[in-house]
Structure 1
Amino acid sequence: MRASECQLYLITPPSIADLERFAFALEQALDAGPVAALQIRLKPAEDASVTSAVRRLAPIAQSRGVAVILNDRPDLAAALGCDGVHVGQSDASVASARRIMGKSAMIGATCHDSRHLAMEAAEAGADYVAFGAFFPTSTKETVHRPDPEILTIWQEVMEVPCVAIGGITIENAAALVEAGADFLAVSQGVWGHPIGPAAAVGQFTKILTPSP
């Protein structure tokens, strides 16, 4: 289902040095405003590290009604009780992720700056497609830089929700909301916020809350 208004989709930092400290920050962030999903994205990481992170962080999110999405690994996502998985173009296919995780799981797909890839993912059964990176980001190497218009066009022709990702901050988020993003996927813009993650979520909430 398409979101009725744009929602916040958090992504963990690519590495977490202190899991307990991050768990505390996550609790504060999720209590600061509505968050639709948390993607656990650790790269590179051993299976044991990913497993530890999911077991510690997933209960925090799920107890607050936040869907837990694991990056790349439908096998681990299914085994660890995640709500879904996000796959890139070089990872498992949407169809194989669906087979592994079942009909009720949330499957998302990276589509860079390509409506063609997004349509293929939607036809394969993806629950959402992700476009980006819209802005420069230090979280991962990116070569694609779509125009926000891709969100507007997608909204006009497709029902599958779209996620905007890549370098999104308090300062640049509004343009993507206006363009038609159903979700804003944010990592460094929250965890690296100078006043702290909770303050960042609170500020994003103001941007994403429609004016009366």
Structure 2
Amino acid sequence: MTGPENRCRLVLIVPDIADAEEKQKIIADALRGGDVASVILPQYGLDDGVFQKHAELVVPVIQEAGAAALIAGDSRVAGRSKADGLHISGNSAEVAEAVEAYTPRLIVGGGNASDRQHALQLGEIRPDYVFFGKLEGDIKPEAHPKNLALGEWWATMIEIPCIVMGGTDPASAVDVALTGAEFVALRSAVFADPSAAASVVAAVNAMLDEKAPRFDG
């Protein structure tokens, strides 16, 4: 019997929904669909006070489902909402600052690794994960070929886990898994039709159970 821990796991990116209670309900529904490792909550231009209210509603729902709640960018909101971690989309200096300030108390991961050089700079900082792609980068059915290539290179070279952004087609999760990446991030693929979010999460987990390579140990 193999559990999801020994294969690529799903990371959800919360969609841009203005109503906090609607956002909370949609996330709760999606998480009923099966295994999710973590959920990243972007700010999407909300002012800090409104974003904090959104986080305070959504973070407990994520945690109750057994996933890690990661706040994109705002360490104060992460602290006040009792989130599990911080997702930094900025440059390596911003990631380094966050790693120094918040690990190991919070999970701190870094994005914006657009090429191998920037990825290695991030790796030297030893974040908890590196993110390939952009949180809103799911603009085509398939994952971006550059992100797949970076994920495959990283997974064979570096011990720090990576998350690769998938596409708008749930099946893009399998392409990410085949790179050896530990995590695949989906947004529109899961939330384009919120009423189907749980069934999409279940379907993605079933695909990963069937087709994702297994990690040693």
Q: Which has the higher helix share?
A: 2
Q: Is the 8 A contact 2:155 2:180 kept in 1?
A: yes
Partner SS, residue 10 of structure 1: strand
Q: What are the equivalent positions in structure 2 for 1:1-212 lying under 5 Å apart?
A: 4-13=6-15, 15-90=16-91, 93-132=94-133, 137-138=138-139, 146=146, 148-193=148-193, 196-210=196-210
**2: CA distance, partners of 1:194 / 1:73:** 26
- Alpha-carbon deviation of 1:205? 0.8
**2: CA distance, partners of 1:48 / 1:91:** 27
- Alpha-carbon deviation of 1:173? 2.2
- Alpha-carbon deviation of 1:198? 0.8
**2: CA distance, partners of 1:43 / 1:166:** 19
| Runs of 4+ off more than 6 Å | none
**1: CA distance, partners of 2:184 / 2:210:** 15
**1: CA distance, partners of 2:164 / 2:40:** 14
CA 1:92 to 1:58, structure 2 compared with 1: closer, same or farther past 3 Å? farther
- Alpha-carbon deviation of 1:112? 3.7
**1: CA distance, partners of 2:107 / 2:137:** 27
**2: CA distance, partners of 1:195 / 1:20:** 15
Q: Any stretches of 5+ residues in structure 2 without a counterpart?
A: none
Q: Is the 8 A contact 1:132 1:145 kept in 2?
A: no
Normalised to the residue count of structure 1, the TM-score between the two structures is 0.85
- Alpha-carbon deviation of 1:195? 5.8
Counting aligned pairs with the same residue, the percent is 26
